[in-house]
Amino acid sequence: MEISKLGLSIGESMTLKLNETFGILKAKGEPVIHLGGGEPHGKAPLKAIELTNELLQTGVVRYSPSIGTKELREAVRDYTYKFYGKKPELKNVIISTGAKQALLVAMQAVLNPGEEVIFPKPYWVSYPEMVKLANGNPVAIDLKNPGFIPEISDFEKALTPKTRAILINSPNNPTGIMYPGSLIKDLVSFTKEKGLYLIMDDIYHRLVFDNLKHPSVLDYASGFEGSHIILVNGISKTYAMTGFRIGWAVADSSLIKVMVNLQSHQTGGPSPLLQKAALGAIIDDQSGVEELRSTLEENRNLMLELLKRLDKVKIYKPSGTFYMYVDFSAYEPDSMKLSAYLLEKVKVLTMPGKAFGLDGHLRLSYCGEADEITEGINRLVWALDENITEPLEIGTQTIFKD
Ligand code: PMP
Ligand code: GLU
């Protein structure tokens, strides 16, 4: 039997696939180290568990309104006001099954078949596939300058009559780079002037380092009604709650209404249990977020320090997230090959840059423990530095240079 062209055009999420590979190897007792992960360690905030438990204990868990529960939308409204200084109304907020679904329904709501969404390379793995799922054409653009910060002219060059939206993520997965306020400001006015939507994926907005302030699209927006800005956020990264699958979008109310209609036929709406968990996380004391943020900053510093021993890598220092996007092309230009080699030879899992549209790089994550980062980078240095000739101990095994 035939399978649809759309279905066949969608590739597997490499990040999720390699996460799975890691789990399988770990379960087999392999001494594998994950430097590719996309989720912070640590537990969900206590209040998230308490509120979920309370509802679960009643035994009465029904459908949620497709737009999300009122209490969680109120919490998101207040969250937006607290962190962005602008207060949406409840009609401007939709709760989805992860930021992933919020992004997808946003694209489905704005794209006609064949219309284009522009985003910079490297990009988060799911962006091109999401645009395709929404019947659009993904347009991933090369950047003029090194350092992963686009210029307006990079976007301008890619504009066509079919361009419908620009999609950005800052701080960025996979680079960890945060865009300056001046660029965000210019993007807000450029997209407005050209009649485009600006979809801002803000999922890492509180995981920012070096006392920097996160420049936000809402700094330059006058309000929500009639706005061309779609702001997407969620609990996965900030609260280490990836498996709870709650995210949201804040936008113009007529657009939200269409997103709700779409969602009502997809998942119906996110589970009320998990919305309770998200509510708990948002209203709980926020000290866990600062703890996570500062641990990630220390981890970033540690990883940068350890990588200094590889004199041929090129790194742009991340200002946020828990990723860095390291240029290993002087060692091996094919990132799939390099990633497979590191997993095979020294049991270190990394994410090949090819998955993010820019080969020659590996995405390294520092969301794990400091000792894992140290051990992982030590193994990586051993595998790549030709001057090291002595064998390496991994668990009970001794590995020799080829
Ligand atoms: N955007 C980016 C840039 C991400 O890294 C992720 C991580 N999965 C998401 C969106 C989706 O997050 P969620 O877990 O809320 O679906
Ligand atoms: N966003 C994370 C990553 O890029 C989690 C995996 C996923 O959802 O793709 O690794």
Residue from 15, 18, 124 to probe ligand 1 pocket by mutation (most atoms less than 8 Å from CB) = 124
Please compute the mean of the pLDDT values over residues 255-272 and round it to a whole number. Answer: 98
19 close to ligand 1 (CB < 6 Angstrom): no
Share of the chain above pLDDT 90, in %: 97
Residue from 125, 126, 131, 321 to probe ligand 1 pocket by mutation (most atoms less than 8 Å from CB) = 126
Please give the structure tokens belonging to residue 97.
């099954």
The domain ranges of the chain are: 5-43+287-384, 46-283
CA nearest neighbour of 253 among 88, 98, 364, 32: 88
Assess whether the previous peptide bond of 122 is cis (omega < 30° from 0).
yes
Fold of the domain spanning 46-283: Aspartate Aminotransferase; domain 2 (3.40.640)
DSSP secondary structure letter of residue 112: P
State pLDDT tens for residues 316-326. Answer: 999 999 999 99
Q: Is the pLDDT of residue 222 over 90?
A: no
Q: At 232, is the pLDDT very low, low, confident or very high (cuts 50, 70, 90)? A: very high
pLDDT for the residue numbered 94 = 98
Contact between 178 and 131 under an 8 Å Cβ cutoff? The reply is: no
Fold of the domain spanning 5-43+287-384: Aspartate Aminotransferase, domain 1 (3.90.1150)
DSSP secondary structure letter of residue 144: S
DSSP secondary structure letter of residue 35: S
**pTM attached to this predicted model:** 0.96
Backbone angles phi, psi at 101, to 5 degrees: -70, -35
Distance CA 245, CA 158 (A): 33
187 close to ligand 2 (CB < 6 Angstrom): no
Please compute the mean of the pLDDT values over residues 307-329 and round it to a whole number. Answer: 97
CA distances to 44, 60, 88, 98, 306 from 56, rounded to whole Å, are 17, 7, 30, 21, 46
| Neighbour-count burial of 38, counting CB atoms closer than 10 A to its CB (0-12 exposed, 13-18 middle, 19+ buried) | buried
pLDDT for the residue numbered 207 = 98
State pLDDT tens for residues 168-211. Answer: 999 999 999 999 999 999 999 999 999 999 999 999 999 999 99
Q: At 377, is the pLDDT very low, low, confident or very high (cuts 50, 70, 90)? A: very high
Are 5-43+287-384 and 46-283 equal in CATH topology?
no
Backbone angles phi, psi at 100, to 5 degrees: -55, -50
Q: Is the pLDDT of residue 396 over 90?
A: no
Q: At 395, is the pLDDT very low, low, confident or very high (cuts 50, 70, 90)? A: confident
pLDDT for the residue numbered 20 = 92
Which residues face 383 on adjacent strands? Answer: none
Please compute the mean of the pLDDT values over residues 210-230 and round it to a whole number. Answer: 96
